[in-house]
Structures are given as C-alpha cells and as structure tokens.
Amino acid sequence: MVFKKLMQAAGVGGPQVETVLHSSSVKPGGTVTGEVTLIGGKHDSDIKGVYLALKTRVEVESGDSEHRTDLEYAKMPIAGSFELDDDARYSIPFEMPIPWEAPITHFYGRPLIGTTVGVATELEVARAVDATDLDPIQVHPLPAQERLLTAFANLGFRYHSADCEKGRIWGVKQQLPFYQEIEFYPPPQYSRGIKELEVTFVAGPSSMEVVLELDKRGGAFTEGHDSFSRFVVDYATVEQTDWEKQLDGFLQQAGKRKGFF
C-alpha cells in the first residue's frame, strides 16, 4: 500500500492518503467503488472535507494554438469536517458514479491511446485543497458503442487514435464540457472521398447521439456545416439494426452532400 503525502494543504508533516479502487474497470453510467484511507501526520489536522474528482486529459484550442491539460468534470464529497489526530487512521468507503458521457479508454481490452480517465482524491485542510495523483480507471464501451465500433471495423475502417477536446458540439444535448473523438482511417471504398473519419458518442441512460465527421477541415461543429452526420441510437433496439448497412448509408449521404463522392 502506497500512501501519498499531502504537503501543500497541511504543510510538512501533514496527513497522508491512499485511495484503493475495488475494480478499475467500468462502463459509462456505472459506478466505481473503493476506499480512501487517511493517516494523521505529526500534528492534529482539522479536515474540512474529502472529495473525489474525475479528470480527463483534453485538448484546449486557444487562438491559433492548442495545448493539453487535465480537466476536472465530476466531483463528489465523501466526508465532511472532522478532526484527524496525529498518527490516527481513518477509512472512508465510497461509491462514485461515472457519467454516461465519460470517454472510452479501452476497446476489446486494448487501450485507446490518447484517452485517459482517472480519479483524484482531494483533501481540504485550513481553506487549502491538495490532491493526489490520478488513480487511472478503464472505461469500456457500452454494448451499443461496442456494436457500432465493431460495425466500423467490419466496414474496413482502421483505428487511428482517440482524444478528448474541450468544448461543445453544436446541436447535441451534451452534459460534459468536452467530447471524445475516435479517429479512423477509411478503407479503399471510401478513401477517394474521406481522408479521415471521426466518431463521437454522447451517451445517456437509454440512448446515445452519434456524430460522424468526415475529413475534418475545421469548423465542423458549427451551424450550417454539412460534412457530418448525426443520429440517435436506442439501446433497446440496437441489436435489431444492420449497422454495417446503416453506417454505410450515413457516410454515403454525408459525403454526397459535401461532394466527397
């Protein structure tokens, strides 16, 4: 067990914390459970609160440049105010819900390089907050997401990369302040018109919106742009659809509108 010293909030000799996840694998809309253990430092600590926060690495556009940063997008308290005596040990069990729109980090057991999700434990002491390093979790796709990703593979699309971008997609009911793009290289039958395909899932409890962006050239998520296709997938009926045929139709329609084909 590795305890992490929190020195910024409580000073040298302050409390230490360790977060243990019962399982690091979860799906969007699921729950991560575990336990946070605090060990008192060399002096008593007046703990104001203990929190868990989800963070994801995102790309942020700023003018003509962009940079990557850790974005906190879900935070919950797991303990209120209490006195932590020196050398005392205090354990806090927790259940943390994962947002439906959480980005996928793994598919078929393999990591999607470029996307990370982690849990940080934050300790508030004397009006200061200190956070541990991220404890990574694996977010696996919902059955509907897995079905569509499999359909793209069956059509011949090859996975390229995945990342998360800060911002919102025009026309989509989006809860989180960022979205994930899963990028594919097209097979020969599409390559004359499509340079790259980007897939975004915006999931909810019973359905998800899917955005397909063809040959990104900037401004694809602004009103009036027609280089993308958007549709809704109902979880209850997802297995009743020939998604290979359906996706091919969406791609052909979007490509023809833009003059790709």
| Domain harbouring 95, CATH code | 2.60.40.640
- Chosen domain end from 82, 111, 139: 139
- 199's tokens: 């897939």
- Chosen domain end from 139, 170, 188: 139
- Domain tally, the chain: 2
Cβ atoms 78, 51 nearer than 8 A: yes
Q: Are 123 and 159 within one domain? A: no
Q: Are 121 and 149 within one domain? A: no
Reduced to 3 states (helix: H, G, I; strand: E, B; else coil), residue 247 is helix
Q: Are 227 and 210 within one domain? A: yes
Q: Are 181 and 69 within one domain? A: no
Q: Are 60 and 105 within one domain? A: yes
Per-residue pLDDT of 39-48, as tens digits, reads 888 888 888 8
Q: Are 109 and 190 within one domain? A: no
State the CB neighbour count (10 A cutoff) for residue 74. 19
Q: Are 152 and 232 within one domain? A: yes
Cβ atoms 232, 202 nearer than 8 A: no
**Rounded distance, CA 88 to CA 90, Å?**
7
Burial status of residue 174 (CB atoms within 10 A of its CB: 0-12, 13-18, 19 or more): middle
- Residues facing residue 50 across a β-bridge: 79, 123
Residue 13: its pLDDT value, please? 66
Q: Are 131 and 152 within one domain? A: no
Domain ranges, residue 66: 4-139
Q: Are 120 and 185 within one domain? A: no
| Residue at 3: amino acid letter | F
Residue 225: its pLDDT value, please? 39
Q: Are 128 and 187 within one domain? A: no
Per-residue pLDDT of 98-121, as tens digits, reads 999 999 999 988 899 889 999 999
**Rounded distance, CA 184 to CA 122, Å?**
37
85's CB contacts (< 8 A; 6+ apart) are: 40, 44
Q: Which residues of the chain have pLDDT under 50?
A: 1, 7-8, 216-226
Q: Are 135 and 164 within one domain? A: no
- Residues facing residue 197 across a β-bridge: 184, 214
Residue 5: its pLDDT value, please? 56
Angle between helices 143-154 and 243-258 (to 10 degrees): 70
Q: How far is CA 238 from CA 63, 65, 180, 252, in A?
A: 40, 39, 21, 21
State the CB neighbour count (10 A cutoff) for residue 70. 13
